[in-house]
């Protein structure tokens, strides 16, 4: 009887430990997601600034008499910077999706549940 109780307690302890480990990892992952969203907000601010500079450069090129302002050097540089910032922002969204997938797979119970027949 005592060994049966010890086996049951050990099994329960392992189950609780497993769920606690999953909860801790998922909490850390959610913290990383929050950090990524903070970086995305910062990137969005930089992207808005880069787009303002791009618009200014296009207007300057038009005022200078350029027929196609997108071929001017200042406009090309501003456009490249804008595209780079958009790519960085997209990479953050991809990283968030990967973290969410890890959370989703970790939540699927790895431990066998006690069914009615057990």
Q: pLDDT of 31-68, one tens digit each?
A: 999 999 999 999 999 999 999 999 999 999 999 998 89
Q: How many domains does the chain have?
A: 1
% of the chain at pLDDT higher than 70: 89
Please answer whether residues 92 and 36 qualify as being in contact, where contact means their C-beta atoms are separated by less than 8 angstroms.
yes
Residue 57 inside a domain? The answer is: yes
Residue 9 inside a domain? The answer is: no
Confidence at residue 115, expressed as pLDDT on a 0 to 100 scale: 45
| pLDDT over 60 at 111, yes or no | no
Span 16-45, mean pLDDT?
94
pTM of the model: 0.73
Confidence at residue 118, expressed as pLDDT on a 0 to 100 scale: 40
Choice between 109 and 27, residue whose per-residue pLDDT is larger? 27
Q: At what angle do helices 73-107 and 2-63 cross, to 10 degrees?
A: 170
Please answer whether residues 94 and 40 qualify as being in contact, where contact means their C-beta atoms are separated by less than 8 angstroms.
no
Say how far apart CA 118 and CA 110 lie, in whole Å: 17
If pLDDT is split at 50, 70 and 90, which confidence band does 94 have? very high
Q: Which domain covers residue 103, as residue numbers?
A: 39-108
Residue 13 inside a domain? The answer is: no
Residue 4 inside a domain? The answer is: no
Residue 67 inside a domain? The answer is: yes
Say how far apart CA 87 and CA 76 lie, in whole Å: 16
If pLDDT is split at 50, 70 and 90, which confidence band does 9 have? confident
């Amino acid at each position: 009887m005592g060994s049966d109780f010890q086996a049951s307690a050990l099994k329960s302890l392992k189950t609780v430990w497993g769920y606690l480990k999953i909860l801790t990892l998922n909490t850390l992952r959610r913290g990383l997601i929050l950090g990524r969203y903070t970086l995305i907000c910062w990137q969005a601010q930089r992207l808005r600034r880069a787009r303002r500079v791009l618009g200014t450069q296009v207007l300057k090129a038009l005022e200078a008499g350029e027929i196609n302002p997108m071929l001017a050097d200042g406009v090309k540089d501003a456009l490249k910077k804008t595209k780079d910032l958009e790519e960085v922002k997209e990479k953050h969204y991809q990283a968030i999706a990967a973290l969410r997938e890890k959370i989703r797979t970790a939540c699927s119970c790895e431990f066998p549940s006690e069914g009615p027949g057990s």
